[in-house]
Chain A
């Protein structure tokens, strides 16, 4: 039942090659438009069967990256390869067969005027897969797989609880048998007891259907539990990436260390973690020079503010820092 970690042999199903995305934003009513670099030069491999977690503070570009993967946005620069083939410019219909998404809020991601059967079967109808009877049969099968009884087929979303709605969203994402599912905060709108049900379901489906997940979450305990691979984002760049077990046991980037230290897991007598970070997240319109993290880094040297950090890519993963180090995890389990 545990996750397998040794997956270097498997070919990547999704590759990002130096992908950037910028937006033109208005800085004021009369001010000229400025360029916001939401994602800056991201290179990443996602292998079949991986659960890749994207971690970072709000505004760091996680969601933009997910939208690039989904094809809702096109990269301004760089390339995304799916099974070795570039997917930029490919028709949405083709992408959606391989890539689907589950969103955060099951209250706004389901059309309140459509029945559950209608919502779950829509991808099949859009892709014209089979006649009415086949579609109905596959829909009921899919609903059963995510734990929704067939009696919900003609129900409306408002008759369902939050957890059931998220099951509907998962069924809709999986009905085309995609290879990759992008889960953007799939459980953060749910209660704790429902969250664990949905996480268990996602893990079960991954095993049964051999799925690859890109998981975005701010809940690091959930990520540690689920992820085989972790990519830590800071101001549009991936500052550290690697095997989940490796990163959680021995984070090398000071930002990753601060993030992990701030996780509060239940346990009595542990106290509030002391986080050594400045208060402010930098302005993405005007990113700091050198290493973007240097104004908040407690180990910063003079060169950190002048030179972009080198990329260190070794057996332990990939990290961008002038001074990568392994320190004790502050929040080691009691």
Chain B
């Protein structure tokens, strides 16, 4: 994390008041992203990765309580902005793309209508020229203009095409930050590769900073510059893609990497690695390391207090009392 980072999140907490107490969805999340970089947030369901993104965008459900020491995108201090200012910022400066393109497009309006509206809303251009820009953008995302897609409704498009429309719509206002929340999970593998290519190419061309949320370590390894691993609402490890994938320090990251079969490395048919136990409840007072209950290296010290995210040289962070030397020397 550096002062001149494009995105700067410091001490982000997101809580929900629920009948049984307080649900700590995100705890003390801090990360920075340099301009033009891709940060992948990896974690399993319920780890808080989507909430972190929604918290940054200011799109949390109304019963959520958000607090942070600092929340900055570009030059904007998101904590100090009003709802209206945030709403202006979303879609123009920062944009989000979701997992299921069917539910994020309005089925009652044509593709062209929805795309043009973004420009009319944020850039105040006339409807007619917005439609022309929309057509150009469809071409940029690989949808031929001849096909008359602008006049089609979302249900007339395949999943891959819808996600391309979403990407075009998101990029039309030329945002500086995009947050992609599992954008390819609902797509077939061949389409997934195409959509990722497209996203990566446009990101490079336009110098966009990206937060990419996924649980697919394969995708992460192909697109990320840096990785943040989340577990039980906390970031447990960050580092460059190479560092995290080849030299994972946190026992959870190691466990996660062992769980997926890697053709050529994992012996076919051999038993895969597992992480025993289940994710702890995030309700009420949380003490100790969130992973202690499932960690085979856990010691009594892991069960009390708050394990800090220790920063090493070059921005590598690990939230573990023992990582790494003592731990992997023993393993």
Contacts and interface: CB of A to CB of B under 8 A. Distances in A.
B190 interface: yes
A196 B194 contact: no
A279 B189 contact: no
B262 A333 contact: yes
B193 A264 contact: yes
A225 interface: yes
Interface size class of B (residues with CB under 8 A): 35 or more
Contacts of B45: 191
Contact of B260 (A203, A221, A271): A221
A43 interface: no
A268 B221 contact: yes
Interface stretch (B51-59, B95-103, B263-271): B263-271
Contact of A279 (B142, B215, B260): B142
A272 B197 contact: yes
Interface in A282-334: 332-334
Interface stretch (B4-12, B239-247, B323-331): B239-247
A270 interface: yes
Contact of B216 (A1, A248, A264): A264
A262 B193 contact: yes
Nearest to A56: B188
Contacts of B164: 279
Nearest to A261: B193
Nearest to A5: B268
Given A196-B272, A279-B160, A264 B264 contact: no
Contact of A265 (B44, B262, B278): B262
B188 A57 contact: yes
Contacts of A163: 278
A267 B257 CA distance: 10
Contact of A281 (B158, B246, B265): B158
A309 B194 CA distance: 27
Interface string B217-232: 1111111000000000
Contacts of B272: 196, 199-200, 225
A221 B259 contact: no
A259 interface: yes
B293 interface: no
A272 to B, nearest CB: 5
Contacts of A197: 274
B304 to A, nearest CB: 25
A333 B200 contact: no
Interface in A1-56: 1-3
A259 B193 CA distance: 10
A266 B218 contact: yes
A44 to B, nearest CB: 21
Contacts of A74: none
A192 interface: yes
A267 B262 contact: yes
Contact of B259 (A1, A196, A258, A273): A196
B265 A273 contact: no
A8 to B, nearest CB: 18
A200 B190 contact: no
A161 B218 contact: no
A253 B243 CA distance: 37
Interface in B184-205: 188-194, 196-197, 200
A265 B218 contact: yes
A117 B164 CA distance: 47
A277 B194 CA distance: 9
Contacts of A108: none
Contacts of B245: 266-268
Nearest to A200: B271
A258 to B, nearest CB: 6
B261 interface: yes
B263 A333 contact: yes
Nearest to B184: A264
Interface in B276-320: 278
Nearest to A226: B269
A281 B154 CA distance: 16
B130 interface: no
A80 B330 CA distance: 56
Contact of A270 (B216, B221, B267): B221
Contacts of A277: 190, 194
Contact of B44 (A193, A248, A258, A266): A193
Contact of A193 (B143, B161, B188, B274): B274
B255 interface: yes
A334 B262 CA distance: 10
A185 interface: no
Given A57-B188, A221-B218, A279 B161 contact: yes
B262 to A, nearest CB: 5
A225 B264 contact: no
A245 B267 CA distance: 12
B42 to A, nearest CB: 9
A327 B74 CA distance: 47
A269 interface: yes
Contacts of A333: 262-265
6 contacts: A1-B269, A57-B190, A196-B273, A225-B272, A268-B241, A275-B193
Lowest 6 A-B CB distances belong to which pairs?
A333-B264, A264-B218, A225-B261, A3-B269, A196-B272, A191-B44
Given A192-B260, A279-B191, 20 more contacts: A1-B267, A1-B271, A2-B267, A161-B278, A193-B274, A196-B274, A224-B261, A248-B263, A261-B193, A264-B219, A264-B221, A265-B218, A268-B221, A270-B222, A272-B223, A273-B193, A274-B193, A274-B197, A280-B158, A333-B262
Interface of A: 1-3, 57-58, 161, 163, 191-193, 195-197, 199-200, 203-204, 218, 220-222, 224-226, 244-245, 248, 258-259, 261-275, 277, 279-281, 332-334
